[in-house]
């Protein structure tokens, strides 16, 4: 009797799964994940039956394999003649306005950004194919972030494979964050807070404010095995962008990736910024009287909306319906100062308009890239009103019930409310806005 072994674990060490071979002991063994049983054949039938069986196994194996008919699809082969980077991109660089509209940044900003990331993105050509150049990788990523289009859309316009585009976007987003974060979101210091407070005093007529804080839901596709962790009060899945902005519409602190089911106040209390403030490991400017006032010292603080709890270092509007005039004026003045963080969560990067159909880590990388790019472009290309319009797809977090926040925090609000009614503290139009 001759036995033909065709199970994967019968294969001798070092043999390829698709290799057919014979043994000197009179047995014929076939390796490969095709069948999992023994065949016992009379020796006299070995030649004809063996050929039939082995032919059937070989045919089955070939069906299981994915025979690649072409190395590169003709659509991708036309990349150098018809791809957006080699045709449209070169034309856009000759028109500053069109380039800005397409990539959400000027040509000079693009060139500077390319210099920052070029070394990390550079790859080597091989004998089989040429690598994708850093300039093209950056252009593809910026178009994805700026337009909110899908990887499939980029596949047809840039003539790159969908999986290749996905890898490019993720890699470039990670590199943008690592290369720009120290410059675009520098470490917070006492001097930095004093500069931010001076900006709010000048532009928003709000005193002792060291930043406006807000949280936004970023839509995502439900992650696997996540249950309701990312399911928010608006009935969709999201991660949270918690941000603090100055009066120049720039982010000075961000925390990205919290579960959508969490509330603003809880997320911010767990942030490194708030913990540093509470532990006093982050030095804030010293408390002092308000400008032109001889009243008691007033500490420096952040401002937020009704979603945040009241604290001496974080002020929110007065709650309730029947408010006095001075409380309504305070709420207006605080809301006017808060608009800077709301406008910082801008309309520029339209990938945030829709659900991010990538895994959670990838989604966080995309949001972080948008954050540093926002500051990078804001510093170089200035302010564009259209880019600060309300972003469809990004929602505020729910307001909490009115919280008293302690006597000290309420006293600070009352001092400011009284100050906004004085000659040195009021603005001429405030009564018409309440």
The residue ranges of every structural domain in the chain are 2-64, 75-183, 188-345+391-433
> Is residue 156 scored above 60 in pLDDT?
yes
> Is residue 29 scored above 60 in pLDDT?
no
Which band of pLDDT confidence, cut at 50, 70 and 90, is reported for residue 50? confident
pLDDT of residue 385: 54
- Whole-angstrom Cα distance, residue 3 to residue 27? 6
> Is residue 240 scored above 70 in pLDDT?
yes
pLDDT of residue 310: 92
Least confident of 49-58, 186-195, 204-213: 49-58
Distance spanning both ends of the chain, measured CA to CA: 99
- Mean pLDDT taken over the chain: 84
pLDDT of residue 159: 93
pLDDT tens-digit map of 307-355? 898 999 999 999 988 899 999 999 999 999 999 998 876 678 999 999 9
pLDDT of residue 32: 45
- Whole-angstrom Cα distance, residue 317 to residue 166? 43
Instruction: Write down the residue that tokens 């602190």 correspond to.
Output: 253
pLDDT tens-digit map of 257-271? 999 998 877 888 899
> Is residue 1 scored above 90 in pLDDT?
no
- Whole-angstrom Cα distance, residue 165 to residue 301? 44
pLDDT of residue 136: 97
pLDDT of residue 41: 45
Is residue 5 a contact partner of residue 27, using CB atoms and an 8 Å limit?
A: yes
Across residues 287-305, what is the average pLDDT? Answer: 90
> Is residue 199 scored above 90 in pLDDT?
yes
- Whole-angstrom Cα distance, residue 302 to residue 412? 12
Strand partners, 220: 356
Which band of pLDDT confidence, cut at 50, 70 and 90, is reported for residue 51? confident
> Is residue 203 scored above 80 in pLDDT?
yes
The more confident residue out of 32 and 130 is 130
């Amino acid at each position: 009797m001759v036995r033909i072994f065709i199970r994967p674990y019968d294969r001798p060490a070092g043999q390829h799964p698709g290799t057919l071979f014979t043994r000197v002991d009179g047995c014929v063994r076939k390796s490969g994940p095709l069948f999992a049983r023994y065949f016992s054949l009379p020796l006299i039938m070995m030649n004809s039956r063996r050929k039939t069986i082995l032919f059937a196994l070989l045919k089955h194996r070939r069906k299981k394999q994915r025979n690649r008919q072409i190395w590169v699809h003709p659509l991708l082969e036309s990349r150098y003649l018809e791809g957006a980077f080699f045709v449209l991109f070169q034309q856009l660089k000759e028109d500053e306005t069109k380039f800005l509209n397409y990539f959400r940044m000027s040509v000079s900003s693009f060139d500077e950004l390319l210099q920052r990331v070029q070394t990390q993105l550079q790859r080597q050509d091989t004998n089989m194919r040429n690598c994708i150049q850093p300039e093209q990788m950056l252009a593809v990523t910026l178009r994805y972030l700026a337009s909110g289009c899908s990887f499939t859309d980029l596949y047809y316009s840039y003539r790159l494979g969908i999986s290749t585009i996905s890898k490019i976007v993720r890699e470039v987003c990670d590199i943008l964050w690592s290369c720009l974060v120290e410059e675009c979101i520098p470490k917070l210091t006492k001097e930095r807070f004093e500069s931010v407070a001076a900006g709010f005093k000048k532009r928003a007529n709000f005193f002792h404010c060291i930043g406006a804080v807000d949280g936004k839901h970023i839509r995502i596709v439900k992650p696997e095995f996540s249950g309701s962790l990312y399911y928010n009060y608006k009935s969709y899945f999201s991660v949270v962008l918690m941000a603090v902005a100055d009066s120049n519409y720039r982010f000075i602190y961000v925390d990205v990736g919290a579960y959508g089911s969490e509330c603003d106040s809880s997320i911010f209390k767990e942030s490194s910024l708030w913990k540093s403030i509470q532990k006093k490991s982050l030095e804030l400017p010293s408390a002092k009287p308000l400008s032109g006032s001889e009243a008691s010292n007033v500490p420096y603080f952040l401002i937020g909306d009704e979603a945040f709890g009241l604290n001496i270092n974080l002020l929110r509007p007065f709650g309730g319906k029947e408010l006095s005039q001075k409380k309504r004026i305070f709420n207006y003045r605080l809301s006017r100062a808060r608009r800077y963080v709301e406008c910082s969560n801008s309309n520029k990067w339209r990938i945030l308009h829709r659900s991010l159909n990538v895994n959670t880590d990838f989604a966080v990388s995309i949001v972080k890239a948008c954050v540093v790019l926002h500051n990078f472009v804001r510093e170089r290309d200035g302010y564009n009103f259209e880019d600060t319009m309300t972003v469809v797809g990004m929602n505020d977090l729910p307001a909490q019930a009115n919280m008293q926040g302690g006597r000290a925090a309420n006293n600070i609000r009352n001092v400011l409310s009284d100050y906004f009614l004085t000659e040195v503290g009021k603005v001429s139009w405030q009564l018409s806005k309440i």
